Structure 1
């Protein structure tokens, strides 16, 4: 049995082979060789029992321990048994692309020869499919096959079995089809873009949205002046006027106190009561009261001026802001196209 001989050759790698598979490979350790032997032997046992998933795992682990074309050959044949023809072809090509060392064992050379023969038999068995899109909106159709993007009219190879094709187009519902590919099949799927069903959620605006757009397109009057702005203006003007009154009262009080102090000093020491440094403290207090009175007077006038400006701006806004106009009579005639009905919608205000 050729399969058995090839595996045994790989298992005896540590005994019969003194050189690596290729010139660039490093000599594996004795422990790696022993582990690879056990894994390959287990893989052959599982392969013979048709437990291909488990066999593939053992052969893959053996190859990871010690590289050998014989292990790869058994991996490719196991992929074939599992129906994973594309993976099998990839491994066969890997074997054929490898450049063996001049001292490579005959089993490795035979593995390459067997891979070439197996690949020639495998290649025609790989099925494929192409999807042809017809209709006016070909470029807007998006295709995916098993989740991978697919260009229209392009031929792609897939493993035998069922595959999911999804066609999508803006404004239309996506269409899902299951394509069954048998070995060696060359399928062609023709898809008419116009046959994709309309998607009401994205292609047809709702009746309410159409009415809103029609109404928003018609001229309309602005609303009445904003009450919060009017109230704010009145309040600010009142606060400024109140502040002016407060500062005005304080200014007059300081002025009266200064007059009383001046009268007292004049009565006490005459017109020159503050000359020559006499009554220094009282005279200094008198001067400060005069200065404070003048400062408060300026602040009061500033507040009154601000109140006047805010009041004028508030009145100007009230007089010039647009007011709501009487609703005008109008009618709307809106076409309606729905998934189950057609017609027109007549609405308006009178």
Structure 2
């Protein structure tokens, strides 16, 4: 996408430096600024951004305070801000002096709660963008490459180079077009002009959902049992049989069971939809009378678990907890029923759980 000046926001000093280095390796005039930079160096860097010597500034929120550069056409939130106020300050860096500007936010499925908070605070929806295909990116690069050739030809001052090329062509008997191609490659260094098409492209319908966040994980070893979507419901169980989850997995408890009419497919569908997690990353599901357990990746972040707590399945809120946590703290269901040894089902008798309307 064409841009004039750009600020990319990263959360940490290390993040700014790593990202700036990668951009520089791809031929972009990018520099990182962060809180550790001396004031004099910071001012010099900002001045270079203003006069066009630098096109991309990779910054932390602290380092970007007070920054005012009119030529900023794009603000990229590489790391989502932790609060809506920071987001507002970030995107305010673009569109200065009556100019148009674009703000782009990179978001992972686990950060959707922050996205919703931003939308509520700004009172504007953040429209999803379709990731460009390899062909679309290459078409833009080719057009830009041709434009650069046209600009250099129009600027003139090529006489010295022309005589050298003619001399080389006579001496080596190499066509001029091959010499031009070699010079173009020399100018780009190790950075290829065009992207290579991946061996397997993501399915288009998954692109807006950012399923790649889970595809980066190695798949679990296949089980001898059938796919969880084909598992039959276990019979009603009075006692739970505790089993160790597979390596890399952890057991989670959800407060919906047989008495609510839930089936394995309901649980899989809800988690797949709300967490953008393919079913192949889910493990064993056990359904009991009034609760169920499911094995999920053991590195699932707490904020995603907190989000899944609020999800409704079969008319019940999941209230998901890591297995064992529910035993360590009093269950909300037992509030008011503290008689020692009281049967759990008797304690809950007459307590009607709220059902989601609609």
Q: TM-score range by the shorter chain?
A: under 0.3
Work out which of the two has the higher radius of gyration on C-alpha atoms and give 1 or 2. Answer: 1
TM-score, normalised by the number of residues in structure 1:
0.24
Higher strand residue share: 1
